[in-house]
Amino acid sequence: MTERWLVTGGTGQVGQALARLDIPGVEVIAPPRAELDLAALPDLDPLLEGVSAIVNCGAYTAVDKAESEPLMARAINTAAPARLAAAAARMGIPIIHVSTDYVFPADGHGPRREDDAVAPVSVYGQTKADGEDAVRASGARHAIVRTAWVVSADGANFVKTMLRLGAERDSLNVVADQRGCPTHAGDLAAALAAITARFTGDAQQASGTWHCSNSGETTWHGLATHTFAVAADCGMKVPAQVAAITTAEYPTPARRPADSRLDCSRLSADFGIALRPWQDAVDEIVRQLAGRAD
């Protein structure tokens, strides 16, 4: 019997990656925004007919813009997960909810564990933390999966921005005092699929929170310089200089955690999932983009 999974954010990086997966015995339904707009959710019952799990990949992820659009960020990141989780509880199906490292405070040191205290310092982070709380309070069986620094060959992300700017400029300044864990959208999608399959296949699987990112750590500057090294090997134009600067030298509307590295050992222990090194993931993305540019 074929399972049906409803995936939100079907046009986002992770949603697209999930929809492309060939999951035996599973039909992935990833409606476009016109059919499933998280900012103004329609009647969910028709969409949930015959669905065995909800995978909520959709989010308002414009971190700086959220500071001036808090109501929109809250509608998508808090109110929508609350309604989806309530529907999951009503139907007796699990919800797999993607969250973020930005729920953690600006100070302190990673790697962050799932039970570390959250203290968001941005509208984006606060709305995502509140969305987590709504899912937990819904009564639905759930997996909250926190990830970080999502990159891919699709959509808007840091790697693609660096490649675009590197082709336009001879020098760039990139923040070097924020540490984190890049995550390939495709790797995250595969992990979400495995987690969802566990929840649909094992009624005794307990709810919880897990961290999921590619292994290793870096800074934004480290991610940029690695991206450009691979790009240069692929014959792409790269800047001659990539200067390391501090957060204070690059003020943004939203504050960000200085160290939001994620400890993913619980994911490995509970699900046997460990993602490849972030360098390998970024190499794949850059080479894919270089191939598109040919």
* Residues carrying an active site annotation: 124
Tell me the sheet residues that pair with 241. Answer: 171
Quote the CA–CA distance of 172 and 195 in Å, as a whole number: 39
Phi and psi at residue 96, to the nearest 5°: -105, 115
Say which DSSP state 37 is in.
Answer: -
Quote the CA–CA distance of 107 and 163 in Å, as a whole number: 30
What is the number of alpha carbons within 13 Å of residue 90 lying toward its C-beta? Answer: 10
Phi and psi at residue 280, to the nearest 5°: -65, -40
Quote the CA–CA distance of 164 and 237 in Å, as a whole number: 9
Query: Which H, E and C letters describe 186-228, residue by residue?
Result: HHHHHHHHHHHHHHHHCCCCCCEEEECCCECCEEHHHHHHHHH
Quote the CA–CA distance of 172 and 196 in Å, as a whole number: 41
Phi and psi at residue 262, to the nearest 5°: -110, 135
Contact 81, 89 (CB under 8 A): no
Quote the CA–CA distance of 227 and 108 in Å, as a whole number: 27
Neighbouring C-beta atoms of residue 82, cutoff 10 Å: 17
Tell me the sheet residues that pair with 179. Answer: 219, 259
